[in-house]
């Protein structure tokens, strides 16, 4: 028998050899590397765990975000998302995610001022944006310009220098709204509207998006607050696809701009941050409430997915979706009702009553309503994932920083189960190729 010094252990019998092993359990998990001692002989590499898409593998220890998918709980640094969305600003939440504690008044003022001081981007970045086709997707522009920023800050490679690292974290949070708004204005052939540091973080973003000939843009306070809440709801979501990419690229000690660009590329996908865009396209395609049953029938036949429904972690309800419904009604009071809302409400109602969706534990996720709100606020559909990226930036950075400073971490490099051909030689095949 092979034993490890652990108070809690998993006793496993290898039926190939009859040997019994005690595999230690720490924090409710076994170390995958402990399985390597389970071998059939000296030549055997040792047992691997096979877990495509990390369905049951913890890739890190993290103190940032807690999710209980069955109970619909989401907390940043211990604080429930409902309380943060009700009482905090997005920059306050960003501070919390990155520092582990809420800022006091003086700390928050300093943090807000520092972010405000870094909202401008180098004029040369505008030239990159100018080079894109007018119909270039703003998410593609965002991914590219985030990566381009790294060339303007060569010292961003000094990721283990605390002051430098923190200064680039600030820059990324400060500049992403500017990149995002400039990408939008390029598509519409509009002159770039520069940041206005008198305004709040969401207010300034609205200014850079919509400012026209007025000397000073004044955001509608209800829309400004709604956007702030939406950013809070998207600020982090533990080891989601893009956070995992951020950590993986960061594990090679790449600079934070390159890592954030890769994370944004992951977010671009329709199964992740592209979902809110896909929801809107789906709702527009359905068109009217009468067409909802047909659409649901196609989903049930497996022809299409119901976008904005389902989640890898939440199998009961997505707490963010509940908050977002409230935000929706506040926004519609200012903007008027989005006609697609009726289609969305009908879809939700019918799906929640339908045994297929109940059995598959499919509920609206955060993106089911966010797109309808963004559209009512005037954002083009292509900007939806970009808005998500602005919100997610503090989360990516907190995950990245935690990852690179974690002594348990190494360069991210999974194993594989090789299923290709056994060794073979060119021989005849080579001579027939040369003919």
* Active-site residue, selected from the candidate residues 168, 272, 295, 318: 272
**Smallest distance, ligand ACO to C-beta of residue 325, A:** 16
Phi, psi of 299 (to 5 degrees): -60, -45
Identify the residue among 308, 319, 395, 403 touching ligand ACO (CB under 6 A).
308
The CB-of-123 to ligand ACO minimum distance in angstroms stands at: 34
Q: Report the residue from 92, 236, 348, 367 that binds ligand ACO according to the rule CB under 6 A.
A: 367
Instruction: Supply the DSSP string of 143-193, one letter for each residue.
Output: HHHHHHHHHH-GGGG-TT-HHHHHHHHHHHHHHHHHHHHHHHHHHTTPPPP
CB of 51 to ligand ACO, least distance (A): 13
User: Which one of the spans 67-75, 161-169, 225-233, 309-317 is the region binding ligand ACO (CB under 6 A)?
Assistant: 309-317
Q: How far apart are CA 169 and CA 95, in angstroms?
A: 11
312 lies in the site for ligand ACO, by CB under 6 A = yes
> Which span sits near ligand ACO by CB under 6 A: 19-27, 41-49, 164-172, 270-278?
270-278
The nearest distance, CB 26 to ligand ACO, in angstroms, is 26
Rounded Cα distance, 83 and 89, in Å? 11
Is position 186 annotated as part of the catalytic site? no
Smaller CB separation from ligand ACO, 34 or 367: 367
Q: What strands, in cross-sheet order, belong to the sheet with 29-30? A: 9-14, 19-26, 29-30
For ligand ACO, the closer of residues 362 and 376 by Cβ is 362
Contact 169, 149 (CB under 8 A): no
Cβ of residue 248: shortest distance to ligand ACO, in angstroms? 17
Residue 365 engages ligand ACO in binding (rule: CB under 6 A): yes
Q: Which long-range contacts (CB under 8 A, 24 or more apart) does 380-384 make?
A: 380/184, 380/187, 381/277, 381/280, 381/281, 382/137, 382/138, 382/139, 382/187, 382/277, 383/138, 383/180, 383/184, 384/276, 384/277, 384/280
Give the range of 22-30, 73-81, 129-137, 303-311 binding ligand ACO by CB under 6 A. 303-311
Q: Would residue 272 show up in a list of annotated catalytic residues for this protein?
A: yes
Using CB under 6 A, list all residues that contact ligand ACO: 271-272, 275, 299, 305-312, 360, 362, 365-367
Q: Which residues are catalytic?
A: 272, 311, 367
């Amino acid at each position: 028998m092979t034993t490890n010094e652990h108070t809690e252990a998993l006793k496993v019998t290898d039926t190939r050899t009859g040997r019994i092993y005690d595999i230690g359990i720490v924090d409710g998990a076994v170390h995958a590397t402990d399985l390597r001692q389970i071998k059939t002989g000296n030549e055997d590499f040792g047992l691997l765990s096979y877990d495509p898409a990390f369905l049951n593998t913890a890739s890190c220890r993290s103190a940032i975000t807690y999710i209980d998918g069955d109970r619909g709980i989401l907390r940043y640094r211990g604080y429930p998302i409902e309380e943060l969305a009700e009482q905090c600003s997005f920059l306050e939440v960003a501070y919390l995610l990155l520092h582990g504690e809420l800022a006091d008044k003086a700390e928050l003022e300093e943090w807000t001022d520092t972010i405000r001081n870094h909202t401008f981007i180098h004029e040369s970045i505008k030239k990159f944006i100018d080079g894109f086709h007018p119909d270039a997707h703003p998410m593609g522009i965002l991914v590219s310009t985030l990566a381009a920023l790294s060339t303007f800050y060569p010292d961003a490679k000094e990721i283990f220098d605390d002051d430098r690292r923190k200064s680039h974290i600030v820059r990324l949070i400060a500049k992403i709204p500017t990149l995002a708004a400039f990408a939008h204005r390029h598509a519409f052939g509009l002159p770039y509207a520069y940041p206005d540091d008198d305004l709040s973080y969401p207010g300034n973003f609205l200014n850079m998006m919509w400012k026209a000939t007025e000397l000073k843009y004044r955001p509608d306070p209800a829309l400004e607050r709604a956007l702030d809440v939406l950013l809070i709801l998207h600020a982090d979501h533990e080891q989601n696809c893009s956070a995992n990419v951020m950590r993986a690229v960061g594990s090679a000690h790449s600079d934070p701009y390159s890592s954030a660009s890769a994370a944004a590329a992951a977010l671009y996908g329709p199964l992740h941050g592209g979902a809110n865009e896909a929801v809107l396209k789906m709702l527009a395609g359905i068109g009217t409430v009468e067409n909802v049953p047909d659409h649901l029938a196609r989903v049930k036949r497996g022809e299409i997915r119901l976008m904005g429904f389902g989640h890898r972690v939440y199998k009961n309800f997505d707490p963010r979706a509940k908050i977002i419904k409230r935000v929706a009604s506040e926004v519609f009071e200012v903007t008027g009702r989005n006609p697609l809302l009726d289609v969305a409400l009908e879809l939700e109602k019918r799906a929640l009553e339908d045994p297929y969706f109940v059995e598959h534990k499919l509920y609206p996720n955060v993106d089911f309503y966010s797109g309808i709100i963004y559209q009512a606020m005037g954002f083009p559909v292509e900007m939806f994932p970009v808005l998500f990226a602005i919100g997610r930036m503090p989360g990516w950075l907190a995950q990245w920083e935690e990852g690179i400073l974690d002594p348990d971490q190494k360069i991210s490099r999974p194993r594989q189960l090789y299923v290709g051909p056994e060794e073979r030689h060119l021989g005849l095949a080579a001579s027939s190729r040369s003919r």
